[in-house]
Structure 1
């Protein structure tokens, strides 16, 4: 018999504690091992930020796959409330974006040999574009939902208040990430990747063995849980498809590609990760559906975790708890690291001599800001992802893609004006009271349309001027 409210510690025994501690110890050991390798490679900013661009395929797959699911409580909350709608908006749309990135953008990204996404924008468009993209990157990569996930985890397992869980947990992650650089993040991801994938797979296997498959779920869930839109409407659902395209300007993807050994490593790695993410999504979505069927009165964000703890036997229970922690930590350390790079390398570039020290200090400033914003968003995962993702996608997607397809055709000032004007319009549109058809249109669509018009007209104007100049030269 499953209950919606439990004390997690009442379900844990010595075997669970031993397994949980072993996973943490192994993770710590890998961080230390990564740090020793960094010292052997003589350190330096390139090694600290990008592992000297020597990321091999196994390491690339482990670190990229692990760094993508830190908001596991949020994903499970969406599934609990809306069913397979989660698999569509947090899964299927994103697979398309991953494949586009792998097949069409990796070679263009690697060609520039940049350090960060804003650094790439500088090389493609100019210094104003670099600063503009750095601001958008910073707010998009702020690990708000992952800080919140860590606070919820520590609250559920140890009874710690969520805010104090966010503070203590994030401080721990900031310390080891700032100390070891990308190597610490990557080598910890190796353990976290294996544990998190096995943990969610075990929950699915035990669920199928104990309750059966689709027939059980259909008999115990609302019909809307098997609808693509989940009752949210097509306009709202399709926005997530466009937000998923923000992957094409996602700093985490770019960082791993910059760090990869070569184009083949990055392209193959992303395609392999896409398959892994599909399997992971199947496991977590299915598990959350079982949780909704068996614990309909549970808190949506907590239900999957509470269900799995009651489902699994001792030993595996401790492994699952470690797996959920691994999911959160592997994304939180990655996003903290990229945000600190954005501050130290892009926003404060040439302001300080010791960029490495400024990078490390930035970890703790960013951690504090992420905690404050997690409190501001009142723990609403969907709202956090929707807000930050929509700005990044609507404002930077069109200029960056335009730069790839028509290199040299978008001017530095136009890039900056397009991004900032689109962001301003999104903000104003969402603040103003609206009704009727206008009330159904999100500001995201307005920003994306304006960006397309500004960038498109600039490209046409530039091509027209070039053709006119070419024609004039030919007459001479």
Structure 2
């Protein structure tokens, strides 16, 4: 069978199953609560599967395999940092569930009160990570399938993005989470299968080891083979970024209770580390067979050109499931921010739930179009991940976690939160522009910490002075 036809048939099969599940769930679970937070009733296995499937995505298939190609076991380090962030969120699950939040900005409303400038800034920063992930997945899909189909990158990105809407429009997070769960199970099975296939294709582990640099496969040295500077960047961008990723918070909100959320996230974190091991192995194995690739992000695409048609069809279905789960989650997450934190909060507070669902569907289409345009303008998967993580973490990490830690004190203030947000983003931007030796995310987080503490202290003292003058 022609390879392109095999890919088309396998893609239709996988996407058809996903779309059928999406419409079935959307028909049964209607309303804005189901759209925003899955009706707050998702079982543990769906929380785990959705969190894992969303986190794996095209970043693992393209960027992370590329990390394995460039830095051996370093892809495990990348995923460990992300999984560690997910585990830390488990500690907050009880408090978060108790508040009935719908989005990340709801945390700021609870901690600091209502303030338009602050909430607008938080909303933008909450959007950048899922939107960055959305662009990453489109780039990853285009890069992979251009290699094996001969179709243009632009056409592939447009087609895939349009299909993703069929997973979001029927039921929002409800339909997204359930299709993620099914795709997540499929991913684990195919990851194991492709790993064994690669092991045989590369001539066994001993042959792989003999053809790559020794430090790539040495443990634990190989986990830092990508370079100290890059690992530091990950520590201050990927790990904090995992703590400020709204898609993760939404799955906590959507769980039926705190215990369910905790169990689901622990399982997802373990599965995430497994995906890092898989990506490192695949990247190292590809390097052992072809060390001449100019761009490491082409490693996964090269693998696809080396396998027989029957396995290509199966692996293509794996790719489709992996990338689609993150694309649909990212679209839904961006949309719920705009509709809940901007449209409903400031433009039309009296909007009916039915109209809000309609607005969410229309906005989903617009977000996908914007993502297509930007993905074609800047087709670098890893670049999207690092930049969006860095700026989101720079602005949100300190105000969220110091705010939660100090929520029972009188130290917190809206101005302190804004000091942390804006100085964090400015610090990261300045460091990126001047191209500092230390990763720019580091400057952003440090600037945010200084701004948060300094501004909070100043306005706390002013507040206390005003009370004394008033005789309070």
Q: For this structure pair, what is the TM-score category when the shorter chain's length is used for normalisation?
A: 0.7 to 0.9
Deviation, 1:189, is 1.4
Secondary structure of 1:69's match? helix
Deviation, 1:213, is 4.8
Q: 1: CA distance between counterparts of 2:49 and 2:329?
A: 12
Residue of structure 1 equivalent to 2:55: 68
**TM-score (norm. length: structure 2):** 0.87
Return the match for 2:342 from 338, 347, 350: 347
Q: CA RMSD in A?
A: 2.9
Secondary structure of 1:61's match? helix
Q: 1: CA distance between counterparts of 2:182 and 2:204?
A: 30
Contact 1:65 1:276 in 2 (8 A): yes
Q: 1: CA distance between counterparts of 2:403 and 2:394?
A: 15
Contact 1:13 1:314 in 2 (8 A): no
Deviation, 1:25, is 2.6
Whether 2:240 is the aligned partner of 1:240: answer: no
Alignment of 1:309-458 (within 5 A): 310-311=306-307, 315-349=310-344, 350-352=346-348, 353=351, 354-377=355-378, 379-407=379-407, 409-432=411-434, 439-458=436-455
Deviation, 1:386, is 1.4
Q: 1: CA distance between counterparts of 2:203 and 2:147?
A: 28
Deviation, 1:156, is 3.3
Whether 2:198 is the aligned partner of 1:207: answer: yes
Deviation, 1:251, is 0.2
Distance 1:44 1:19, change over 3 A: closer
Alignment of 1:124-163 (within 5 A): 124-128=111-115, 129-142=118-131, 143-163=134-154
Q: 2: CA distance between counterparts of 1:356 and 1:141?
A: 20
Whether 2:106 is the aligned partner of 1:115: answer: no
Contact 1:125 1:415 in 2 (8 A): yes
Residue of structure 2 equivalent to 1:96: 84
Secondary structure of 1:302's match? helix
**TM-score (norm. length: structure 1):** 0.87
Contact 1:410 1:455 in 2 (8 A): no
Whether 2:278 is the aligned partner of 1:283: answer: yes
5+ long unaligned stretches in structure 2 = none
Return the match for 1:173 from 164, 171, 184: 164
Secondary structure of 1:446's match? helix
Deviation, 1:59, is 1.1
Deviations 1:124-177 (A, max 9, x none): 212333222101111222011112122224423432211221112101112431
Distance 1:173 1:415, change over 3 A: same
Deviations 1:305-364 (A, max 9, x none): 4425634x6644322110111110000000011001111111222424332222112112
Residue of structure 1 equivalent to 2:32: 45
Q: 2: CA distance between counterparts of 1:404 and 1:180?
A: 32
Distance 1:231 1:304, change over 3 A: closer
Deviations 1:257-286 (A, max 9, x none): 111100000011000111111222212221
Q: 2: CA distance between counterparts of 1:26 and 1:309?
A: 26
Distance 1:177 1:309, change over 3 A: same
Q: More displaced, 220-229 or 125-134?
A: 220-229
Deviation, 1:420, is 1.5
Q: More displaced, 179-188 or 296-305?
A: 296-305
